Structure 1
Amino acid sequence: MPRRNLSILEKTSLIEDIENGLEAKEATKLYKVSPRTIFRTLSNKQNLLEACENGQGKRTRIEKNEMLRRHDDEVKLFILKCLEKGIPLKATFIIEKAKMIAHEMGYFRLQCSWQWFKRFRERIKLKQGTLSGERISVNSEVVKDWRENKIPRIMLNWQKEFVFNCDETSLFWRQSPSKTYFISKTDHIGDKIFHERISILFCVNQAGQKLKPLIIGKAAKPRCFYKDCLLDLELTYVSQSNAWMNLNLFTDWLKNWHIELVGQNKKVLLLLDNFKGHKINTEDFPMITFNFLPPSTTSLTQPLDGGIIRAFKAKYLNIFVKYILNGIDSGRMSDIVKNINLLNALNWVDECWKAIPEQTICNCWSHFGYVSLDLMEINNVYEEELVTNLNELSLNLTNCCSSKEFIEQVSFDYLDFE
């Protein structure tokens, strides 16, 4: 009977089969190994299971080199430190650092080649991904103060229907992906990539209500537009030279919204970031109370950044991919994408924004701590405000009583009273 060397993964599978009732004689035929191999595998069960968990499943022998294990731990510790600091890691970066660590350890036999890196990835289960978010730069103390002190007062003074959040995002409305899967030793050349962009202003309240998005494009009258083409869409289109939000556009959007609030006799609270285009004269909008979020904390304090915008873009990408798949037989990628115009994109934006569930919006608010207070929390907030007001009153009285003018005024008033 032919003999073969089992991998560690196959040996762990053999152990499981025998523990589930497979006889040793049948196992020799099934795995094409000798009875001695089976008994040796069973006796080494614990080490085999640990090696499989450590990513050595494809090997036929357990790695017993203690120096290599120490080297792996050092490289892994370096990777974790870089991730904590938000430093992106390329394969060449890791390989060079591994060579330095091996040299410092005196482990000159280890070459740290690309083949080593491939096995190293398997051993520590290293994966490749994209850095997302800006949480590394966020001051956790500022976020903690916002959630513990500011949010309870907002929740105490405003109902969900009157608390809004607005934010802008960019959308490359017909940009095709640049990464691809490919079969080894085959060409994977690319095609023209389109970089047209629009900016979108979203605004939602804590109860899940969505306002009409404001779309900012470059062209005032795109060629694809025709008379009344936007009447059926619940959005507003404006133009700006570089398709970015600025102070004038934001002021016009606020004026239109403020007119609606005046007609409804409704006052609202608007949470927004410190973007320079938001630095408006707040006194011009008496129906809107503006509350600016702490600088550089929007990734942890702004509900729209908590998953609402991400959900919208995921839905848009889904429609975009379906469009490409339907026209994949008509020509190259650039030919398919070139047929998408701005009006198509605006229709997709409208469809995707309407498809965002109210529950998703409410969940994003709750995820960042904007939740209703219970009776005990309300009492704590009232108690803190009462203590603060009493302290301010005590300080004012102390200052007044130490003032000569105040004492003379009280004396005159007393004589007049007499």
Structure 2
Amino acid sequence: MSKVRKVLTVEERVKVINLSEQGQSGRQIAESIGVGRTQIQNILKRKAEVLEEYQVCAPDRKRVKRVTGSEDVNTLVWEFFKDCRQRNAPVNGPLLQTKALQFAENLELENFKASNGWLRSFLSRHNIVFGCMSGERADVDMGVVDDFKSKVPHLCSGFLPKDIFNMDETGLFYKDGSRKTVHVKGDDCAGGKRSTERLSIALCASLTGEKLKPLVLGRLKKPRCFSKVKDVDKLPVMYRSNKKAWMTAAIFEEWLQTVNKQMRRVKKKHSFVFG
């Protein structure tokens, strides 16, 4: 004989949500309420709908702030999270759970458990989502940027736009693939170890779009792909190497002298802005 499914009232479903936010697992809640664990999971998935229904069904009641029993911990974790993001430090779920346990221990809260349910509730309450940290703009001192921008017109005065060049370097992780992929819903979407092999590339172009030969820096003096290259200097790039594939003062000076000779041959008066 199949087990009859128990229908929970709105108040009982709100109680399920409160117990989850207090750190109880789905199994513990199911045993205390007297229903199956699957039913508890379905309620937690529809948490927003349940809370909205609770408010609609009780228009004459004042909105009661749900007490989780760990408000002090939640407040401290939230302040910790804001401080980390202000300093552009990466934060993840396990770190928040670890800090929550530390705060609970300091507050002598013996029954607090920083469970995955608590973490989901904390993230949802503060509208926190996970994403990739990209770029390096957080490390830029805008005061230095503004000061340099004010000097550029003076540095470039007396030069034609075609004779003003900008040079900057970047890293190319040429064996690294995309972080995103399509996958069957429900299947594990894990990835392997990402390649850290890289090249450093210096690019230079004029204000009008004239491009100079790129400078490429690798780790090997003669990579395997150069096996049939008789003269490296005839490549469409200027290739140099060192153990870390980084730009060095000696390589940069060599590149700059090469460009100066090139400009002298065509009798160009030129100016460079380095990024």
Same fold flag (TM > 0.5): yes
Q: 1:78 corresponds to which letter in structure 2?
A: F
- State the partner residue of 1:78: 80
Conserved 8 A contact 1:67-1:107: no
Q: Are residues 203 and 3 of structure 1, via their aligned partners in 2, closer, same or farther at CA, if it must alter by over 3 Å?
A: same
Q: Are residues 208 and 108 of structure 1, via their aligned partners in 2, closer, same or farther at CA, if it must alter by over 3 Å?
A: farther
- Deviation digits for residues 322-375 of structure 1 (CA, Å, limit 9, x no counterpart): xxxxxxxxxxxxxxxxxxxxxxxxxxxxxxxxxxxxxxxxxxxxxxxxxxxxxx
Q: TM-score, normalised by structure 2?
A: 0.63
- State the partner residue of 1:10: 49
- State the partner residue of 1:199: 200
- State the partner residue of 1:367: none
Q: Which runs of 5+ in 2 are unaligned?
A: 1-5, 11-42
2:273 corresponds to 1:271 = yes
Find the aligned partners of 2:125 and 2:133 in 1 and give their Cα distance: 23
Choose between structure 1 and 2: higher helix proportion: 1
- Residues 187-226 of structure 1 aligned to structure 2 (within 5 Å): 188=190, 190=192, 195-225=196-226, 226=228
- Residues 15-414 of structure 1 aligned to structure 2 (within 5 Å): 40=57, 43=59, 64-65=66-67, 68-69=70-71, 71-104=73-106, 108-135=110-137, 137-147=139-149, 149-154=150-155, 156-176=157-177, 188=190, 190=192, 195-225=196-226, 226-227=228-229, 234-272=236-274, 302=275
Find the aligned partners of 1:96 and 1:194 in 2 and give their Cα distance: 30
SS at match of 2:224: coil
Q: 2:49 corresponds to which letter in structure 1?
A: E
Q: How many residues align?
A: 233
* Coordinate RMSD, CA, aligned: 4.3
Find the aligned partners of 1:112 and 1:241 in 2 and give their Cα distance: 46
Q: 2:218 corresponds to which letter in structure 1?
A: G
SS at match of 1:169: strand
Q: Are residues 231 and 111 of structure 1, via their aligned partners in 2, closer, same or farther at CA, if it must alter by over 3 Å?
A: same
Query: What's the CA shift for 1:264?
Result: 2.7
Q: Are residues 88 and 158 of structure 1, via their aligned partners in 2, closer, same or farther at CA, if it must alter by over 3 Å?
A: same
- Deviation digits for residues 93-112 of structure 1 (CA, Å, limit 9, x no counterpart): 22222223345556554322
Structure showing greater Rg: 1
SS at match of 1:253: helix
Q: Are residues 70 and 206 of structure 1, via their aligned partners in 2, closer, same or farther at CA, if it must alter by over 3 Å?
A: farther
Find the aligned partners of 2:60 and 2:146 in 1 and give their Cα distance: 51
Conserved 8 A contact 2:156-2:271: no
Q: Which runs of 5+ in 1 are unaligned?
A: 15-36, 48-61, 273-301, 303-418
SS at match of 2:155: helix
Find the aligned partners of 2:195 and 2:77 in 1 and give their Cα distance: 40
- State the partner residue of 1:327: none
Find the aligned partners of 1:251 and 1:257 in 2 and give their Cα distance: 10
Query: What's the CA shift for 1:213?
Result: 1.0
